[in-house]
Amino acid sequence: MRVWVAGRQIGHRPHLGSLESEFLGARARRCPAIRAARPLRMAASGSSVGYNRLAMQIRLIPIDRSNYRALWRLQVKPEQQSFVSPPAWSLVRCYVKAFGEAYEHLPHLISADGTIVGFSTIVCDPHGEQDYWIDDIMIDATQQGRGYGRAAVVETLRTIVKRYPRCRAVQLTCFRANTNAAALYLSLGFVKTGENDPVFDEPIYLLRGSRLDELR
């Protein structure tokens, strides 16, 4: 998933990706200079595992020099590769602040009961209320189908609202073809803004109000 900052109104910022089965790859667009990059997506699939238990297992671990190698081992299924950026590319965007100095770029490993199952990146402007995006999110191919995708999205949202008390909306872009991801986002309370990403012409989704506040 990628984030671009192209404007100052909801629907004109970062672009997030899609969720195909258990593939969480999200991208938001924030920086005109990198609009040619593919949108972020998410890979993950449904599962009958109890969500409350999974939510307790999932946590986000900031990526640093002590653990970044775990990111290189994460892969999606071959048929999902067109839906998400390589982990290394997502990490590089964060550390070069690809979306500008005004934004905080936060890469995380996703841990489930002590096992690294994916990664998630967040790009946010802490000075406002609306410009908060899930950039990339993916679940490793070997860990898909266990419900980690949904739990990881929720934990990423929770991380955003706890770190940024001013946040009143979280946005992402989801490809139309990624119907599983769209269904997941809608079930969590996201709604389409009616705006499309200007580069990929894919719909932008937004979460705000009580469904976001309950995660604080």
5 is a domain residue: no
Q: What's the domain count of the chain? A: 1
90 is a domain residue: yes
22 is a domain residue: yes
Task: Give the C-alpha separation, 61 to 55, whole Å.
Answer: 15
pLDDT score for 20: 34
76 is a domain residue: yes
Percent of the chain whose predicted confidence (pLDDT) is above 90: 52
Q: What is the CATH number of the domain that holds 42?
A: 3.40.630.30
Q: Is the pLDDT of residue 60 over 80?
A: yes
Q: Is 152 exposed, middle or buried (0-12, 13-18, 19+ CB in 10 A)?
A: buried
Better-predicted residue by pLDDT, 77 or 186: 186
207 is a domain residue: yes
Secondary structure string (H, E, C) spanning 153-179: HHHHHHHHHHHCCCCCEEEEECCCCCH
12 is a domain residue: no
Summarize the confidence of residues 190-216 as an average pLDDT. Answer: 91
Please give the residue range of the domain that contains residue 181: 18-213
Strand 132-139 to 115-124 pairing: antiparallel
Give tens-digit pLDDT for 14-46.
433 334 334 444 444 443 333 333 334 455 444
7 is a domain residue: no
6 is a domain residue: no
- Model confidence, pTM: 0.78
8 A C-beta contact, residue 29 and residue 11:
no
Identify the H or E element spanning 137: strand 132-139
Strand 41-44 to 58-62 pairing: unpaired
Better-predicted residue by pLDDT, 57 or 35: 57
